[in-house]
Every structure is written in structure tokens, then in C-alpha cells.
Amino acid sequence: MLQTPVRTPISANFAEPPQLTSLHDAISAARRIVRQQVRLILACVLLCVGLGVGYLYITPPLYDGSATLLIDPRRSMIGQQQAANQGGADLAVDTGAVETQIQILKSDNIALTVIRQLNLTHDPDLTASGPIGSLLAKVMSLGGPVVAPSAETFEKSVAQTFGKRLSITRQGISYVINIDFNSRSKEKAAIIANAVAEAYIRDQLDSKFEVTRRAGDWLQVRLAEIRSQTDAAEHAVVEFKQKNDIVDSGGRLINDQQLAEINTELVTAAANTSEAKARLDRIQNVMTQGIPDASVADALKNDVIISIRQKYLDLAQREGIIASKYGHDHLAAIALQKQMEQLRLNITDEMRKIAESYRSDYEIAKTREESLRKSLDSAVSTSQRTNQSQSELHALESRAETYRSIYENFLQRSMEATQQESFPITEARLIGRATPPLSQSSPVPVLVLGGSLFAGLLLGFGLAAMREASDRVFRAGAMVQSALRVQNSVLVPAVTHRELRKLARRSTNLISNSVLDPYAGGGVLSYALDAPLSRFAEAIRMLKVMADLHGIPKSTRVIGVTSTYPTEGKTTIAANIALLIASSGRRVALVDGDLRNPSLSEYFRKTGLPGVVDIVSGEVALRDILAEAENSPFLVLPAGNVKNVAHSNEIIGSDAMAALVAELRATFDYVILDLPPLAPVVDVRVASQLVDGFYYVVEWAKTNSARVERSLASAPEIYDKLVAVVLNKSDLQAVANYEEELPYYDRPYYVNYSSNA
């Protein structure tokens, strides 16, 4: 047998609803909305398409006349030096300039020019206000006489209408501009588009001529002023040079040139002095050594010293040989030593002469350096005295050069202005004249109908999504399982009046008569038994199977049936389950546990008979009631005398009630308790200790889902014992729009199979 699933805590089960976590979930949600609200979406589509068709019917066709204009900036460069320097190279696209020309084309000046040229002031195509405008005019006329506008005001209103019909667009980032005008007449649309282009070209020529003429007049006056200023500035430069004895030499002042030359010579003299001092210091250092070594002798480059040093070395060698053989006191050694001493004196004398020569060179170089320093100081002093004069001279020269540059620039502009005035050129030219169009431009039926269809789909889906978001009821078993976190849910279809009337016509052959005898109930309470091949009966059989597979370890199952509110059909479900089980030969007790509203007792015509209240109070024994139904597998135990019952929950939770259920459990195979609804009273929560499992009945598309969630969340003792949630009074045709997978008893092959059976 299937085991009861282990549920998570009730607070966790009724947490936030699951969120869409992937694109697949979003697509599935969209498909579900479309499937569930297909009628609403189709209604919106039909409405929008109908509006589109009506719009096409009442809207007169308009035609677009299109002319093409080219803004070519190179045309205005003809005859100018800039055009020659560019060599015909392409100019960069100036977006701002092109947009400026577009705004000029849209201006009232162009519109009024075309209106006056073509006499469009009273053209009905531009003055007609349409049905809405006519209606507004009539409404305004109700307040008193309407004052006719002046001619200027009327012309401006026509120009505004003209501007709305005129469309100026640019082709990409090019210089090409499209001029479109829509009208009810094909010919008029082409004529006006061409007239706008020609009016713009004439306006450009007129404006250029006027601007060039004014610029030429101003340039002539300005040239004379700048010429006199240039002559005065150049004359001031010449006078200043003469006054301050300033002479240029190759672009440089004489004082600056002399200062540079003295500075160069001073650098050279300082280097020579340093070199002479170094030679003198070196020779004096060498003189302290006695006999210089080979490197020093070579550095001095003196042949006498080199020769004497060589002789000295030869004698020293010989003296060493003799001293080693005979000793230093030998006469030959002493003679050689005297010769060596004489050579040393000769070297010293020669080096003294060289030192005197070096000292003389040093003194000469030092004297020259000092002389140059004095000359440099004198030149610097002279240069400093002329700095102020040079600064003033530079300012005068800069001013003269500026005036000269301005004069040449103005002279060039004056020549260009004179040339343009005699031969004005506009950048714009008409490259494509408008011709009468072959087809209407608006409204376009395909676009209108396509837009209407799209708008209808969008509106329908939006309304459907809003309706789904605000629809807080259960319409499918999957919705119940997802919202309540339960595994078992059963759709019980609604039994229509037509089906009940059909059943009543064959009431003499009802199976329930034998089961219910002597009560002969019939109707919806026994419909599962009287119509065993119906979808209703199959759903009740599914509930019975779920009870058997629920994993209740007891031999007798006590099952409670409850709901959130009254009138959801819990009593009907309880009666049909009990009758269906009893018809299979099992002993079943159907107990009316709704002591506040004992509808089950009324349906089975047992109102006023002893029942639950009487047994619990001790007035009647259960065995007396069982004796009356000893041979029947089906027992209906009514509520009994409930008139004086004030606290029904105390009766349900009493030990006597527990004893009553235990006695019924010992006698019957199934005990079905028709319990009160959960939301209004607490009786069903008290009865949870008596019950092995619960059927929770929810009315399809009516009971608020949030209220069901809160009720079960507040009663975990019931939630933990749920066998199944019963979605009662379901419209299975509508459920098909909400269920991905329909119950097997609603599939076509079930109907065919049942019919064949």
C-alpha cells in the first residue's frame, strides 16, 4: 500500500508562491494564461480588428507626393580658392547643417510661400476640419456667435495644417532630403511637393544674395579703416627703430649678436686657462719625483728628457751589475753613481724650464679670460639697457603684423563677396521631381489590420494576465496541488439539472433504492450509484481508492469530510462515497457530524430521529439504532436532537463521542463523518483526533484560494491527515484550459470505453 507522504511544516508549505526561474517556466506560464483565457483574448482580438476595419471604412485615402532635394555644399565653393585647394575632395557630412536646412523646409515662411503661389488658402483639403472638428465647432457655437478669424489668422491656421501634411526626412547620413506631402488628390500631392522644393531653392538664392550684398558693403567700409590702421602701425615701427638706433642683422639685433660672440670666446678662453693650469700643476708634481717614469716622460714629449732618462737608466743598470759583483763601494760603481747624479740634475733643470714655459702660458690664458669677462659684462650691461626698447619694438611689430593679416583677410573676403554677389549659387538642387503616386500611402490596410491584430493580442494577453493575477480561486487540480502542497487532488464534475431530470425519469430502476431502502433518497446524493458510468461516479471511485491507498493501518477507516465554507458540497461527497462503498458489500456508517447545520439528516429524512447528540448524552444507545439496520450494509446516523446544543465542539471532543466512533469502528468497515466547515466553527479541528483521514472539499472557481490556504495553515492537525482535496462542482470543459494533463475519466477514450462496457 502507498504510504502517507511526509509533509514539511505547515508554515513552510504556505510560504511565498513559487517564482518563475527560467525561460521555460515563463513560456509555460504564458501558454497557461492563453489556454485559460482564450475566450477573453479572442474577444479582444475581434474587437481591435473590428475597430481597424471601421477605421479603414471611414478614413479617406491619402496619397504621398515625394520630391528629392540634394544639399551639395561643393556647389557654393565654385570659383573660390578653397575649392581649388580641395581638388574636388568629398566634404564631411555636417549633420547640424543638414538638420538646419530641414527645419527651414518645415518653416512657416516656405509653407506660406507655397500656399500663396498655388492659391491654397481656401483649398478644402487644407481647411476641412473633419467630423471631430465640425462637432467641436457646433458645440462652441452653442455658447454664442462665433467670431470669424482675420485673414492673417486664417492663413496661419492653413499653414499649420499644411505643416502637418508635409514630411521632411533625411536619407541616412547623406545630403539627400525627401519632401513628402500627402493629400486626397494624387496630382495635388505631387504639385505641392515640387512647389515646396522650388520655394526652398528660391528662398536660398534670395537669402544668399541679400547676405552677400550686405557683407560686401560692410567689408568695403571696414577695409578702409583697417588699411589706415595698418599704415599707422608700420610707420610707428620705423620711427621707433630710428629713434633707438636699432639695427637688424639677419633678423637679429647687433647687440645680441656681439653678446653671443663674446660669450663663445669666453667659453673657449676659460677652457684654455683650465688646460694651461692643468699642465702647470702636472709638471710641478712630476718635478717632485726626481726621475720621471716612462709615461710622464712620454707625456711631456721632450726629446732631451727622454734621452737623458734613457742614459740614466742604462747607467743604473750597469751600476746594479757592478754593485752586485763588487759592492757599492767599488770605484766603478761610485763613478757610475756620480754620472747618474749629474743626469738627474740635468733632468731637473730641463723640467724647470718646461715648468716656466707652462706658467707663462697659464698667465697669458688667464689674462685673456679676464679681458673677455670684462667685455661680456659690458655687453650684458648694454643689452640690459636696450631690453625695454626691444619689448616696445616687439609690441609695435606684432601690432603691425596683426593689422596686415586682418587687412589681407578682409581683402580676400571682399573679393569673394563681390564675386558671389555677381554670381549667387545655392547648395540645394532638385534631383527628383514628384510624380502622381500609383497607390495610396495611408491608411495601409495591411498595416492597420496587422496593428489591430497585434494590439488585440497584446490587450487580450494583458487583460488575461491581470485576470489570472486577480483570480484567487481554484480551477484545476494542478493549481490545488501547487498552492496547498498536496499530492492528491480529485476533480468532481458538477451534476447538472438536465442530468438529474434524466435520472428521475428512470427512478424506479435506481440501484440506490435497494441500498437506501426504506429511505429511497436518490438525486445528487446518490448520483455516483445511480449513474455508475458517469464521470461523477468515476471521480467518487477515485476518492474511495485514495482512501484505501492512504496507508491507514487500521482495519476500519474513519474518514472525515469537511470544507472551508458551507454549500461547497461536502455532504454530497460524503453521501456518494458512503453509498458507493456500501454498494460493493462493505459495511458503511454515514454519520452527520455537522451539529450546527445537520443537512445530511434532512437529505435522508431523519430529522428529529435519535442520533449523535442523543447517543453522546446517554439518552439512546448505539446498539438500539444498529438493531434497526441490522441487515443493511448502510447506516445513516443523524445528528439527533440539536435544538438545545450550545457548544457543539464540546460534544464532538467529548469522551462519549470518542467511544461512539470506537463502537462504530468495531461494527463497520468504513465510517464516513460529514463534519462542519473549517472556517466558521472549530468543531472539525476537535474531531481530528477521531479521524484517520480527511477529504477537504473546495468548490471549483468559487472558494477563495487564499482563505483555503489560511484555513489549512491554521489547522495542521487536519492538513497532516489529508487524503485528498476534492475540487467539487467542476466544469470539465473549462478545466481543459487550465490542466496540462486531464483526469483519465475526462479523456475521450474513457467515454468510449464506458459506453462499450
If you search the block for the grid coordinates 474511495, which residue do you land on?
Answer: 544
Domains of the chain in start order, with CATH, are 60-244+386-442 (3.30.1890), 252-384 (no CATH), 477-752 (3.40.50.300)
What's the confidence (pLDDT) of residue 407?
Answer: 76
State residue 674's pLDDT score: 96
DSSP string, 621-668: -HHHHHHHTTT-SEEEE-----TT-S-HHHHHTSHHHHHHHHHHHHH-
Written as one string, the DSSP assignment of 205-234 is HHHHHHHHHHHHHHHHHHHHHHHHHHHHHH
Interior/surface letters 623-641, b for 16+ CB within 10 angstroms, e for the rest: eebbeeeeebbbbbbbbbb
The C-alpha cell of 127 is what? Answer: 481647411
Count Cβ atoms within 10 A of the Cβ of residue 87 and give its class: 0-12 exposed, 13-18 middle, 19 or more buried.
Answer: exposed
From CA 159, how far away is CA 121, in angstroms rounded? 9
Cα–Cα–Cα angle for 287, 288, 292, rounded to 5 degrees: 60
Buried b (16+ CB within 10 A) or exposed e, 292-302: beeebbeebeb
671 vs 203, 431, 528, CA distance in Å?
102, 97, 18
Q: What are phi and psi of 198, to 5 degrees?
A: -70, -40
DSSP E strands in 261-319: the ranges are none
Q: What is the pLDDT of residue 554?
A: 65
Cα gap 413→223, rounded to integer Å: 10
What 3-state class would DSSP assign to 166?
A: strand
Low-confidence ranges of the chain (pLDDT < 70): 1-21, 74-93, 128-148, 244-256, 289-302, 382-390, 417-424, 506-522, 551-554, 629, 740-757
Adjacent-strand bridge partners of 607: none
Distance, first Cα to last Cα, the chain: 29
Cell 458489500 belongs to residue = 585
- Check: CB of residue 425 under 8 Å from CB of residue 76: yes
CB 376 within 8 A of CB 258: no
For 185, the 3-state DSSP assignment is: coil
Q: For residue 73, how far is the Cα from the chain centroid?
A: 40
What's the confidence (pLDDT) of residue 719? Answer: 94
Cell of 444: 495601409
Model confidence over 328-367: pLDDT tens digits? 788 888 888 888 888 888 877 877 888 788 788 888 888 8
From the number of C-beta atoms within 10 Å of its C-beta (0-12, 13-18, 19+), residue 614 rates as buried
Q: For Cα atoms 59, 60, 65, give the angle at the middle one, nearest 5 degrees.
A: 125
Q: How far apart are CA 501 and CA 608, in angstroms?
A: 29
Q: pLDDT digits over 6-23, tens only?
A: 454 444 444 445 555 578
pLDDT at 711: 92
Instruction: Identify whether the C-beta of residue 443 lies closer than 8 Å to the C-beta of residue 64.
Output: no
What is the bridge-based pairing of β-strands 634-637 and 588-592? parallel
Buried b (16+ CB within 10 A) or exposed e, 470-504: eeebbbbbbbbeebbbbebbbbbbebeeebeeebe
How far apart (Å, rounded) are the C-alpha atoms in residues 588 and 636? 9
| One-letter amino acid of 251 | G
Q: What per-residue confidence (pLDDT) applies to 632?
A: 76
Q: Please work out, in degrees rounded to the nearest 5, the angle formed at the alpha carbon of residue 598 by the alpha carbons of 595 and 604.
A: 140
